[in-house]
Structure 1
Amino acid sequence: MSYFLFKRLLTLLATLAATSVIVFAVLEVLPGNAAQVLMGPDADPAAVAAKAAELGLDRPALARYADWMRGLLRGDMGNSYSYGTPVSELIAERLTLTVPLAVLAMLLTTVLALLVGVVAAARHNSAADVGLMSLAQLGMAIPNFWFAILLILLFSVRLQWLSAGGFDGWYWDDGVWAGLWEGLKALILSAVALAVVQAAILARFTRSAVLEVLREDFVRTARAKGLSRRAVLWGHVLRNAMIPVITVMGLQFAELLAGTIVVENVFYLPGLGRLIFQSIANRDVIVVRNCVMLLAGMVVVVNFVVDVLYAVIDPRVKAHEL
């Protein structure tokens, strides 16, 4: 197991290193000048050049990349050009919204997908199977930003049950999270908007994986021993079908983190996605660079966790690596 983890860890570090080079190089070739944006379009060229020198933008790209890497290793992401505050503080503040939003969306995705996928597989070729898969196909075709607007029109404008946007934050009062319920209410519509498409995709994968396992001999053996259909389905079949499902779940969680960029802007939520959007508009490259690197790092770490879960669920994966 230690050798398996060592190989996966090396792959993780190599992927992060390659990602940092790509992110830095791509942002270097983007048009625009952060100093020009900060000084204004009519600023004197000498003043713009002085501002660029103050920000370190006149230094060679290789030197700036090396400084960025050294800063990341020390936990120092530098200061934002637009906000004038440490980037790490900006990101930490926004992650308190984006991470709970992605986790809530992933929980909704998992519950809905597993329920729909298993029920559809258990009733293969029945009216329930056809109906559930038709709904899943419809869910895959719906853009999450368009579905988010529909949710706002229904639950915020017409029914007035939930807020159409904004987030007051989590707050601690007298030893309890007093803002927990209000925070969840503010995030529920955006979480549903993110989860619908992902749940539809995962439900189809779950159904296919469960159907494949249902044809195995051990399923018939378990039934012959007297186990109920429900016990076999949820206790034996689902676990053996989880390898391809976990693969998709890992990719989906990373996609949910990236998908918050659009949904947070629809609901006007002050999360990481909105910070990236605003930083792109302000040509605040240092914020964009660190945010993109953080999202890429989350994707790589999620994939690493998925690989480890492979070995836990199915020891044959670890044995094959050895």
Structure 2
Amino acid sequence: MPLFVLRRLLSFVLTLLATSVVVFAVLELLPGNAAQVILGETATPESIAAMEDKLGLNQPAAARYLQWLGGMLNGQSGMSISYDTPTAQLMAERMQVTLPLAVMAMGLTVALALALGIYAASQQNKAGDVGVMTLSQLGLALPNFWLAILLILLFAVHLEWVSAGGFPGWSPEDGGGIGEGIKALLLPAMALAAVQTAILTRVTRSAVLDTLREDFVRTARAKGLSRRQVLWRHVLRNAMIPVLTVMGLQFGNLITSAIVIENVFVLPGIGRLIFQAIANRDLIVVRDVVMLLAALVILINFLIDVLYALIDPRLKVGHAG
């Protein structure tokens, strides 16, 4: 087990390093002069030179990459041009909205998808199975931004149960609170969770059906266990490997999908930050936010790999051999 985790940790570090190279290189290859874009067409050569010096564009690309990498390792981030604030501070403030939103959406996805997927598998080719698969197909076809607009029309405009957008904050000093914050994120979480629930439901159903055909299931039934006992005690755990893989990918997707949903609900999250940074040509913020999102996705996949070994002992035995 320690060797398995060590290998995954080494892979995590190397993937993160390769990602940083790609992110930096892509922004370097963008056409045009960043200083010229920020200052506009009427900027003088002197002001452009001063901006290039402020952005560090007068240094070689390799030196700027190493400086950026060293700053991240030392906990020192770049300075946003449009906000005149360290990017780490901006991202920390915005992640207080985006991360709870993604966690809420993931919680809804897992709770609904596991229940629906197991139910559909237990009712294979019956009315319940057909109904769940029809709903999941409908969920796959719905764009989350369009569903978000429908939710606003229903719950905010017609029923007036929640506000149509905005975020009051997590503390009473900001005019909000825990309850108000959760209430403000409920509709965005539902909009994000709809498509992911449809995907995970179908994966769960398929994984459970494949496991139900295994020999150990017939043995457990022959020993006198009921179908429900076999399903929850033995089948579900063995079916979780493909389900966990999709869950890890989905959580990263939920964070990145927030770029659209946060703009629909006017939430001050990381998605709205990167949208505004792109509009303002603030490449320093864009670079650091993209790197943060990529690091989160890689970290989630690393944690999923570790969970594999905890769920499936065969992985530990194989790597030990």
Q: Same fold (TM over 0.5)?
A: yes
Where does 1:138-157 land on structure 2 (aligned, <5 Å)?
A: 138-157=138-157
Following superposition, the deviation at residue 178 of structure 1 comes to: 6.8
The equivalent of 2:265 in structure 1 is: 267
The equivalent of 1:187 in structure 2 is: 185
The equivalent of 1:49 in structure 2 is: 49
The equivalent of 1:311 in structure 2 is: 309
Following superposition, the deviation at residue 31 of structure 1 comes to: 3.0
Q: Distance in 1 between matches of 2:310 and 2:172?
A: 37
The equivalent of 1:91 in structure 2 is: 91
The equivalent of 1:210 in structure 2 is: 208
CA deviation digits over 1:138-189, x for unaligned, max 9? 111111111111111111111111111100111167xxx9711100110011
On the 8 A contact 1:34/1:282 being kept in 2, the answer is no
Q: Distance in 2 between matches of 1:275 and 1:33?
A: 22
The equivalent of 1:5 in structure 2 is: 5
Matched, 1:251 2:245: no
Aligned residues: 319
Q: Distance in 2 between matches of 1:234 and 1:99?
A: 30
* TM-score of the superposed pair, with normalisation by structure 2: 0.96
Unaligned runs of 5+ in 2: none
CA deviation digits over 1:103-127, x for unaligned, max 9? 0000000011001100000000001
CA deviation digits over 1:191-243, x for unaligned, max 9? 01110000100000000000011112222232333333222212221111000
Match of 2:237 among 230, 239, 249: 239
CA deviation digits over 1:225-264, x for unaligned, max 9? 3333222212221111000100000010011111001111
The equivalent of 2:158 in structure 1 is: 158
The equivalent of 1:222 in structure 2 is: 220
The equivalent of 2:26 in structure 1 is: 26
Q: Return closer, same or farther for 1:119/1:260 CA change in 2, 3 Å cut-off.
A: same
Following superposition, the deviation at residue 32 of structure 1 comes to: 4.2
Q: Distance in 2 between matches of 1:150 and 1:41?
A: 42
Following superposition, the deviation at residue 60 of structure 1 comes to: 1.3
On the 8 A contact 1:121/1:211 being kept in 2, the answer is yes
Identical aligned residues as a percent = 64
The equivalent of 1:296 in structure 2 is: 294
Unaligned runs of 5+ in 1: none
Q: Return closer, same or farther for 1:172/1:2 CA change in 2, 3 Å cut-off.
A: farther
* Stretch of structure 1 that moved more, 52-61 or 239-248: 52-61
On the 8 A contact 2:204/2:239 being kept in 1, the answer is yes
On the 8 A contact 1:33/1:283 being kept in 2, the answer is no
On the 8 A contact 1:32/1:283 being kept in 2, the answer is no
Q: State the secondary structure of the residue aligned to 2:11.
A: helix
The equivalent of 1:67 in structure 2 is: 67
* Divergent runs of 4+, >6 A: none
* TM-score of the superposed pair, with normalisation by structure 1: 0.95
On the 8 A contact 2:259/2:271 being kept in 1, the answer is yes
CA deviation digits over 1:128-147, x for unaligned, max 9? 10111011011111111111
Matched, 1:129 2:124: no
Aligned residue identity for 1:6: L
Q: Distance in 1 between matches of 2:212 and 2:118?
A: 11
The equivalent of 2:35 in structure 1 is: 35
On the 8 A contact 1:167/1:270 being kept in 2, the answer is yes
Following superposition, the deviation at residue 44 of structure 1 comes to: 1.7
Q: Distance in 1 between matches of 2:126 and 2:267?
A: 42
On the 8 A contact 1:148/1:190 being kept in 2, the answer is yes
CA deviation digits over 1:280-307, x for unaligned, max 9? 1111111111111111111111111111
